[in-house]
Amino acid sequence: MRILFISTVSILIITALLLTRPDTHAELQKLPPPTVNISIVEKIDVQPITEVIGKFQPAKKARLHFQVSGQIDRRFVEVGQYVIGNSKLLSIDSGDFSDAVEESVATLKTEDAAIERDSQLLELMRKERKLQEQEVLRIKQLGRDSLASKSNYDQTLQILYRQQAEETRLEHSMSSARNRLMIEQVRLNKAERNLKRAQLMSPFDGTVNVIYVEVGDYVSPGEPALEIVQVDKLDLSLEITMISAVQLQLGQEIQVVTNSDERTGEIIALSVAPDAETNTHTLKIRLPSDGLFSGQLAVAKLPGVFYEAANVIPISAILYEDGQSYAFEVINDRVVKKTVKLIERYKDIQIISGIESGSTIISKDVSSLTDGQVIIIP
C-alpha cells in the first residue's frame, strides 16, 4: 500500500513538471541602431613631417698614426687640449732619419762634383781629339811614300783612336753619373719625407680626444697614436627610408629638436644607394655645437611631399578588411561602405582619395558597422 502511494505521488509530480515547463522557443529582438561619432572629410594643404631620432657626432674625427717606426721621444699635447691645424702633436726619435738625409746630401754633392770633373775632362778631350784629327789629316796630306811618314801616320791615328775611346768613356761616365744623381735625389726626397714623418701633425683645428702612446713607447706604421676631433660643429647622423630620402637634397635646411631647444641644420651628406642589410639611406645634418655635445640624441624633422587641397580623414575612420581599406559615409540615417585609397599618413590623419571633401563619415568604432546599417547621430 505504501509503495502504491509513493508511485502515485511520483507520477503526479512528474506530470505537474511536464505541464508547467517553460516554452523553449525564444523570440529574437532587434537591437537598437548604434549611436555613432561622425566627422567631415576635410580638404586642406598638408606636408607630412617625418621625425627621425639620431645621435650627434663630431663634424671631423681623425685617428692618426705614424708612417715610420721609432720610439716616442716627445709629447706636445694632452687629452682635451685644443690645437690648430699643422701643430705638433707627437714625435719619435729622428736621429736615424736625420743621418739618412745628411748621407744623401753628401752623396749628391759627391756625384755632382764627379759630373763636373768629367764634364771638364770631356771638354778637354774633345779639344785634343779635334787637334789630333787635324794632325792625322796633315800627315796624310804629306804622303805615305816613305817609311817614316807611314810610321808617323800610324802612330798619330792610334793616338786619335785612344782619344775617341776616352771621349766615349767620359760621355758614358757622365750619363751614368747623371742617372745616379737622379736616383740619389729620389733617396734624398724619401729621407726628407721620413724625417718629416717623425713628427705627427694636426690635420685640422680640433681637440685631442685620445692619446694611445707614451714617451718611450715604440710605434710601428699604422698603429693608432692619437685621436683628434672637431666639436665646434656637430653632425646628426640618421638612417632614413627611401621615401624620405627622395624628398631631400644636399644643402637643404632641416629643423632639429634637442632636449633644450629647436635649431636649424644643413644637410651635408645623403647616400644615394641604400644599405644592403637595413635598406636605409644615411643622412648627415651639420649644425653649430653651441650648447650641444657629441653623443647627444636629437630629432630631425624631415619634410615630405607637399599635398595641395588633399582630402583627409581621421586614422580611426578607416576599416581594414581583406587587404582593402574602407570608410563609412553617412547618407541620411544609414552608412554606406566605400573603398578608399590610402595616400599617406601624417600623425592622426590619413590622406585619401575615394570620398569627396565635405562628406560625413563615421570617425571611429567602424569595425562593428555593416554596409547599409541604420545609425543614430547624437
| Mean pLDDT over the full length of the chain | 86
CA–CA distances in Å: residue 171 to residues 18, 50, 316: 142, 78, 97
Residue 252, in any domain of the structure: yes
**How confident is the model over 276-296, as pLDDT tens digits?**
899 999 999 999 988 888 889
pLDDT at 174: 76
Number of domains within the chain: 3
pLDDT at 26: 53
Least confident of 74-83, 141-150, 362-371: 141-150
In the numeric block, which cell numbers belong to residue 120? 771638364
Asked if residue 122 and residue 158 are part of one domain, the reply reads yes
Domain span holding position 118:
96-194
* Residue 267 pLDDT greater than 90, yes or no: yes
Residue 105, in any domain of the structure: yes
Asked if residue 312 and residue 286 are part of one domain, the reply reads no
Residue 159, in any domain of the structure: yes
In degrees rounded to 5, what are phi and psi of residue 106? -65, -40
Task: Give Cα 192 distance to the centre of its chain.
Answer: 35
Most confident region among 1-5, 104-108, 170-174 by mean pLDDT:
104-108
The fraction of the chain above a pLDDT of 70, given in percent, is 89
In the numeric block, which cell numbers belong to residue 351? 590622406
**Rounded CA Rg of the chain:** 49
CATH number of the domain encompassing residue 275: 2.40.30.170
Residue 264, in any domain of the structure: yes
**How confident is the model over 312-364, as pLDDT tens digits?**
999 999 999 988 999 999 998 899 999 999 998 888 999 999 999 999 999 99
Residue 247, in any domain of the structure: yes
Helix (H), strand (E), coil (C) string for 128-166: HHHHHHHHHHHHHHHCCCCHHHHHHHHHHHHHHHHHHHH
pLDDT at 270: 94
Q: Are 59 and 286 in contact (CB under 8 A)?
A: yes
Asked if residue 181 and residue 134 are part of one domain, the reply reads yes
Residue 12, in any domain of the structure: no
Asked if residue 272 and residue 336 are part of one domain, the reply reads no
Task: Say how many CA atoms lie within 13 Å of 206 toward its Cβ.
Answer: 26
Whole-model pTM: value is: 0.62
Q: Comparing 128 with 75, which gets the higher pLDDT?
A: 75
pLDDT at 212: 95
Q: Comparing 174 with 74, which gets the higher pLDDT?
A: 74
Q: Where are the alpha helices (DSSP H) in the chain?
A: 2-20, 95-142, 147-197, 242-245
**How confident is the model over 104-124, as pLDDT tens digits?**
888 888 888 887 887 787 787
Q: What share of the chain is helix, strand, coil (3-state, %, to 5)?
A: 35, 35, 30
